[in-house]
Structure 1
Amino acid sequence: MKLLIIDDDKIVCTSLKTILSSDSEINVVEMGYSGKDAIALYEATKPDVLLMDIRMEFMSGLEAGEHILSKHSDAKILYLTTFLDDEYIIKALNIGAKGYMLKQDFEGIISAVKAVNLGHNIYGTEIVNKLPKLLSQQEEHFSYETFGITEKEYEIILKIADGLSNKEIAEALFLSEGTIRNYISLILEKLSLRDRTQIAIFYYKNRHY
């Protein structure tokens, strides 16, 4: 797996390279220190995953990510930052980033990068905990009818987005866990998703922010 690292702190870049290169499956092809570097180096190296900071001088990681994704919709971008700002999280979701983690969670960075490379969406616990609150402040504008989602299935999607387990959803809706699992399988099939996490992320991304 080819990995591109972008962070305006050269020490952070070097440290991340050392940590990630310790895994034989990860090849750090290049490092950059600005949003402009990210755009140029992405074109030059065509990495499998771009690991990037958000706040950088002249051009932010979010601006760079939006530019890259506008040209390469399949780009897999994982943001690694110290900032938990609502606007940053929302922007990352809206532009199609694959993940958002805090630098304090660096212990899990290797597994996170690998998961993103496999197509999974990775969001740190602090980010996931903030999403329902952000969600409640926004207006719904996306119709699930296009995908054939029923009212009951949509209700289950809401419960998943709120972080409820299958057992908790079953209790809330007075259904069996087996029935909930069947509903979730149908939802995954209709939305062409792989797992419960992707259902939640799909829901967040299709809100009006």
Structure 2
Amino acid sequence: MIDPSYKIVLVDDHTLFRNGLRILLNTINTYQVTGEAANGQEFLELLDQIMPDIVLLDIDMPVMDGITAAKRAMEKYPDLKIITLSMYGEEDYYYKMVDAGVKGFLLKNSDMNEVKSAIETVLAGGNYFSSELLQTLVNSLRSSSRNREPQYGLSEREIEILILICQGLSNQEIADQLYISKRTVDKHRANILEKSECKNTAQLVMYAIKNQLVEI
């Protein structure tokens, strides 16, 4: 159940976009926009005054971009939950944002149902990727990696589990589907993280796409 006191901070250099998103979010009684910033520097200064439950963060901004801001914010507040607001053509930045520790990606043309779904997923501890954005990323990666043999070093079972992770299944759900124990899945997941040098589920999704292990 989503706590009605959850606070949201909006970070985007377009005032009209922020105003519109704030109005829409504030109509949902479980959320409250408690702060806004027009660039990464303002956002970092705002964090020292307001600690939000979730941040919607633009990538391309003046003064300080979203990548730098996300890295600095996560270094200071490792538990901060950030969802990136993205536009088409910004695929080159996705890996950097994942490395910075963001928990989700939304296209700016997403409807409110998807925005709400992303916020709820991330607040619950998950990672969210816009399906439309992922498809764009997959197409880009397929084009750039054509004729290149993927190198991933995972066992068949680990690949099977990785694909299920990318489909959004929990460790228990994976265990039930494969008729193995959750403890076994936990161990495989740890091995996958170590072999892929990934830190979290978001990075695993990117890793699987990059190595053409999943079809979105």
TM-score (norm 1): 0.73
**Structure 2: runs of 5+ lacking an equivalent:** 1-5, 191-199, 212-216
Q: Which residue is equivalent to 1:123? A: 129
Q: Are positions 1:77 and 2:74 aligned together?
A: no
> Paired residue for 2:108?
103
- Percent identity between matched residues is 22
Instruction: Give the secondary-structure state (helix, strand or coil) at the position aligned to 1:104.
Output: coil
How many residues get paired?
Answer: 186
Equivalent in the alignment of 1:203: 204
Q: Which has the higher helix share?
A: 1
SS in 1 for 2:71: helix
Contact 2:99 2:203 in 1 (8 A): no
Distance 2:122 2:8 in 1: 11
Distance, in Å, in 1 between the alignment partners of 2:181 and 2:57 is 33
Aligned to 2:214: none
- Name the residue aligned to 1:134: 141
In structure 2, distance between residues paired with 1:131 and 1:186: 31
Residue number in structure 2 paired with 1:24: 29
Shift of 1:204: 3.6
Corresponding residue of 1:88: 93
Segments of 5+ residues of structure 1 without an aligned counterpart are 145-150, 166-176, 193-198
Give, in angstroms, the shift of residue 93 of structure 1. Answer: 1.4
Cα deviation for residue 180 of structure 1 reads: 4.4
- Give the Cα–Cα distance (whole angstroms) in 2 for the partners of residues 16 and 179 of structure 1: 40
Can you list the C-alpha shifts for 1:45-67, whole angstroms capped at 9, x where unaligned?
Answer: 01000111110012111110111
Q: Determine if the alignment matches structure 1 residue 38 to structure 2 residue 35.
A: no
How far apart are the structure 2 equivalents of 1:29 and 1:181?
A: 44
8 Å Cα contact 2:59/2:67 also seen in 1: yes
| Cα drift, residue 205 of structure 1 | 5.5
TM score, norm. by length of structure 2: 0.71
One-letter amino acid of the counterpart of residue 12, structure 1: F
Instruction: Evaluate the alpha carbon distance shift between residue 31 and residue 109 of structure 1 in structure 2; reply closer, same or farther with a 3 A threshold.
Output: same
- Aligned mates of 2:139, 2:165 — CA distance in 1: 7
Deviating more after overlay: 154-163 vs 179-188: 179-188
Change (3 A) 1:187 1:99: farther
Does the CA contact (< 8 Å) of 1:160 and 1:200 recur in 2? no
- CA 1:2–1:200: 2 relative to 1, 3 Å: closer
Deviation string, structure 1 residues 127-148 (Cα, Å, up to 9, x no partner): 322248638849757x87xxxx
